[in-house]
Homo-oligomer: A and B are copies of this chain.
Amino acid sequence: MPETGFVLDGALEAVGLPLGDWPLCRVFLFDDARYPWLMLVPRRADRREIIELSSEDQAQLFSEISRAMTALQGVAKPDKLNLGALGNVTPQLHIHIVGRYVSDEAWPGPVWGQGTRKPYPPHMVGILMDKLARALGFEA
Protein backbone atom coordinates (compact mmCIF):
# COMPACT_ATOMS: atom_id res chain seq x y z
CA MET A 1 0.00 0.00 0.00
CA PRO A 2 2.15 2.88 -1.22
CA GLU A 3 1.85 6.35 0.25
CA THR A 4 2.10 9.12 -2.29
CA GLY A 5 1.96 12.71 -1.25
CA PHE A 6 0.29 12.17 2.12
CA VAL A 7 0.96 15.07 4.48
CA LEU A 8 -0.80 15.24 7.83
CA ASP A 9 -2.99 18.33 8.14
CA GLY A 10 -1.59 20.75 10.70
CA ALA A 11 -4.92 20.98 12.52
CA LEU A 12 -4.93 17.21 13.10
CA GLU A 13 -1.25 17.19 14.02
CA ALA A 14 -1.97 19.83 16.68
CA VAL A 15 -4.47 17.61 18.52
CA GLY A 16 -3.10 14.13 17.81
CA LEU A 17 -0.41 12.29 19.75
CA PRO A 18 0.92 9.62 17.36
CA LEU A 19 0.79 6.03 18.60
CA GLY A 20 1.91 4.23 15.45
CA ASP A 21 1.08 3.29 11.87
CA TRP A 22 -1.16 0.47 10.71
CA PRO A 23 -1.15 -0.60 7.04
CA LEU A 24 -3.52 2.23 6.09
CA CYS A 25 -3.94 4.62 9.01
CA ARG A 26 -1.79 6.59 11.35
CA VAL A 27 -3.24 6.08 14.82
CA PHE A 28 -3.36 8.93 17.32
CA LEU A 29 -4.44 9.51 20.87
CA PHE A 30 -6.62 12.61 20.60
CA ASP A 31 -5.13 15.01 23.12
CA ASP A 32 -8.22 15.67 25.20
CA ALA A 33 -8.18 14.31 28.72
CA ARG A 34 -11.98 14.58 28.99
CA TYR A 35 -12.48 11.39 26.94
CA PRO A 36 -10.43 8.35 25.90
CA TRP A 37 -10.29 9.06 22.18
CA LEU A 38 -8.46 7.55 19.24
CA MET A 39 -8.17 9.19 15.83
CA LEU A 40 -7.35 7.29 12.63
CA VAL A 41 -5.97 9.13 9.62
CA PRO A 42 -5.62 7.14 6.37
CA ARG A 43 -2.21 7.89 4.88
CA ARG A 44 -3.64 8.88 1.53
CA ALA A 45 -3.37 12.30 -0.07
CA ASP A 46 -6.35 14.51 -0.89
CA ARG A 47 -9.15 12.37 0.57
CA ARG A 48 -12.14 13.98 2.30
CA GLU A 49 -14.70 11.17 2.17
CA ILE A 50 -14.44 7.48 3.04
CA ILE A 51 -15.98 6.69 -0.34
CA GLU A 52 -13.11 8.48 -2.09
CA LEU A 53 -10.83 5.64 -0.96
CA SER A 54 -10.41 2.56 -3.16
CA SER A 55 -12.54 -0.46 -2.27
CA GLU A 56 -9.44 -2.18 -0.91
CA ASP A 57 -8.56 0.82 1.25
CA GLN A 58 -12.14 1.08 2.51
CA ALA A 59 -12.09 -2.55 3.63
CA GLN A 60 -8.75 -1.97 5.35
CA LEU A 61 -10.05 1.21 7.00
CA PHE A 62 -13.06 -0.55 8.46
CA SER A 63 -10.86 -3.39 9.70
CA GLU A 64 -8.64 -0.84 11.44
CA ILE A 65 -11.66 0.98 12.90
CA SER A 66 -12.89 -2.30 14.37
CA ARG A 67 -9.44 -3.06 15.78
CA ALA A 68 -9.18 0.40 17.33
CA MET A 69 -12.65 0.07 18.90
CA THR A 70 -11.69 -3.27 20.44
CA ALA A 71 -8.46 -1.86 21.87
CA LEU A 72 -10.14 1.24 23.30
CA GLN A 73 -12.94 -0.85 24.80
CA GLY A 74 -10.35 -3.06 26.51
CA VAL A 75 -8.21 -0.25 27.86
CA ALA A 76 -10.82 2.34 28.84
CA LYS A 77 -13.92 0.18 29.48
CA PRO A 78 -16.31 2.98 28.50
CA ASP A 79 -20.07 2.77 28.87
CA LYS A 80 -20.40 3.31 25.11
CA LEU A 81 -18.18 3.66 22.07
CA ASN A 82 -18.88 6.52 19.67
CA LEU A 83 -17.69 6.45 16.07
CA GLY A 84 -17.63 9.59 13.98
CA ALA A 85 -16.29 10.75 10.64
CA LEU A 86 -17.29 14.38 10.17
CA GLY A 87 -14.59 16.56 8.64
CA ASN A 88 -16.75 19.68 8.60
CA VAL A 89 -13.98 21.73 10.19
CA THR A 90 -10.82 19.90 9.08
CA PRO A 91 -11.38 18.34 5.68
CA GLN A 92 -8.54 15.77 5.63
CA LEU A 93 -10.19 12.38 6.12
CA HIS A 94 -10.01 11.28 9.75
CA ILE A 95 -12.09 9.02 11.94
CA HIS A 96 -12.88 9.46 15.62
CA ILE A 97 -13.39 6.61 18.07
CA VAL A 98 -14.38 7.94 21.47
CA GLY A 99 -15.02 6.14 24.72
CA ARG A 100 -18.04 7.67 26.44
CA TYR A 101 -19.20 7.51 30.04
CA VAL A 102 -22.58 8.34 31.50
CA SER A 103 -20.62 10.65 33.80
CA ASP A 104 -18.73 12.56 31.09
CA GLU A 105 -19.43 16.24 30.53
CA ALA A 106 -21.06 15.88 27.10
CA TRP A 107 -23.18 12.78 27.81
CA PRO A 108 -25.49 11.88 26.10
CA GLY A 109 -24.65 14.39 23.37
CA PRO A 110 -21.78 14.05 20.92
CA VAL A 111 -18.30 15.21 21.92
CA TRP A 112 -17.62 17.19 18.76
CA GLY A 113 -17.86 20.93 19.16
CA GLN A 114 -18.70 20.65 22.88
CA GLY A 115 -16.81 22.58 25.53
CA THR A 116 -13.08 23.13 25.51
CA ARG A 117 -10.42 20.54 24.79
CA LYS A 118 -8.26 19.74 27.82
CA PRO A 119 -4.79 18.54 26.83
CA TYR A 120 -3.41 15.75 29.00
CA PRO A 121 -1.07 16.68 31.83
CA PRO A 122 2.43 15.50 30.82
CA HIS A 123 2.72 13.10 33.74
CA MET A 124 -0.43 11.23 32.66
CA VAL A 125 -0.11 11.01 28.95
CA GLY A 126 2.93 8.73 28.76
CA ILE A 127 1.29 6.07 30.89
CA LEU A 128 -1.89 6.09 28.83
CA MET A 129 -0.04 6.11 25.51
CA ASP A 130 2.06 3.11 26.58
CA LYS A 131 -1.04 1.17 27.55
CA LEU A 132 -2.86 2.06 24.33
CA ALA A 133 0.17 1.31 22.16
CA ARG A 134 0.38 -2.19 23.62
CA ALA A 135 -3.37 -2.79 23.13
CA LEU A 136 -3.11 -1.56 19.54
CA GLY A 137 -0.21 -3.91 18.84
CA PHE A 138 2.48 -1.28 18.42
CA GLU A 139 4.67 -2.66 21.20
CA ALA A 140 5.59 -6.13 22.43
Binding site for B on A (CB under 8 A): 48-51, 58-59, 62, 65-66, 69-70, 73, 80-89, 91, 100, 107-110, 112-113
Query: What's the dominant secondary structure at chain A's contact region?
Result: mixed
Q: How far is the CB of A111 from chain B (nearest CB, A)?
A: 9
Contacts of A86 in B (CB 8 A): 80, 82-84, 110
Contacts of A70 in B (CB 8 A): 51
A84 touches B81 (CB 8 A): no
* Bound form: Cα–Cα A51–B88 in Å: 26
Q: How far is the CB of A109 from chain B (nearest CB, A)?
A: 4
Contacts of A48 in B (CB 8 A): 80
Contacts of A113 in B (CB 8 A): 108-110
Give the top 3 A-B pairs by smallest Cβ distance, nearest first.
Answer: A62-B62, A88-B108, A109-B113
